[in-house]
Amino acid sequence: MKFSTFLFPDSRDPARDGAVIDETLREARLAEELGVDVVWLAEHHFDGISVYGDPIGIAGALAALLHRAALGFAVIQTALHHPIRLAEQIALLDNLLKGRLIVGLGRGSSYNIYDYLGFGIDHREAQERLIEAEAIMLTAWTGGGFEHRGRFWQLSVPMLRPRPFTRPHPPVIRGSSGDASLVALAREGKPFMMNVQSLETTRRRVELYRLTRREAGHDDAAIDAALAASWVWRNVFVAATDAEAERIGIPAFETMTRARAEMRDRIFAETGLRIEVPKNDLPGARTARGDGLIHGSPARVAEDFAAIERLGIGGVINAFRLGPMPHEVAAASLSLFMREVAPQFRR
- 198-206 long-range Cβ contacts below 8 angstroms, 24+ apart: 198/284, 198/286, 198/290, 198/291, 198/292, 199/290, 199/291, 199/304, 199/307, 199/308, 200/290, 201/280, 201/284, 202/232, 202/308, 202/311, 202/313, 203/311, 205/179, 206/311, 206/312, 206/313
Q: What was the pLDDT predicted at 108?
A: 77
Task: Give the list of residues 6+ apart from residue 217 with CB closer than 8 angstroms, or none.
Answer: none
Q: What was the pLDDT predicted at 281?
A: 55
The phi-psi region of residue 312 (left if phi > 0; otherwise alpha if psi is between -120 and 50; otherwise beta) is: left
Q: What was the pLDDT predicted at 278?
A: 64
Minimal CA–CA distance to 87: which of 5, 18, 170?
170
Amino acid at site 328: E
Domain with 333 in it: 2-345
Q: How many domains does the chain have?
A: 1
C-alpha span between 271 and 132 (Å, rounded): 29
What's the distance, Cα to Cα, between the start and end of the chain in Å? 10
3-state secondary structure labels for all residues of 120-155: CCCHHHHHHHHHHHHHHHHHHHHCCCEEEECCCCEE
Model confidence pLDDT, tens digit, residues 311-339: 999 999 999 999 999 999 999 999 999 99
C-alpha span between 73 and 115 (Å, rounded): 17
CATH number of the domain bearing residue 141: 3.20.20.30
Whether 264 contacts 117, CB under 8 Å:
no
Phi/psi for 80 (5° steps) reads -95, 5
Residue 120 burial class via C-beta count within 10 angstroms: exposed 0-12, middle 13-18, buried 19 and up: exposed
Task: Give the list of residues 6+ apart from residue 285 with CB closer than 8 angstroms, or none.
Answer: 257, 261, 291, 292
C-alpha span between 190 and 213 (Å, rounded): 10
Taken as a whole, the chain contains a residue count of 347
DSSP 8-state code for residue 18: H
Q: What was the pLDDT predicted at 271?
A: 85
pTM over 0.75: yes
Omega prior to 55 cis, within 30 of 0: no
pLDDT below 50 — which residues of the chain?
A: none
C-alpha span between 319 and 273 (Å, rounded): 29
Rg (CA), the chain: 20
C-alpha span between 57 and 53 (Å, rounded): 9
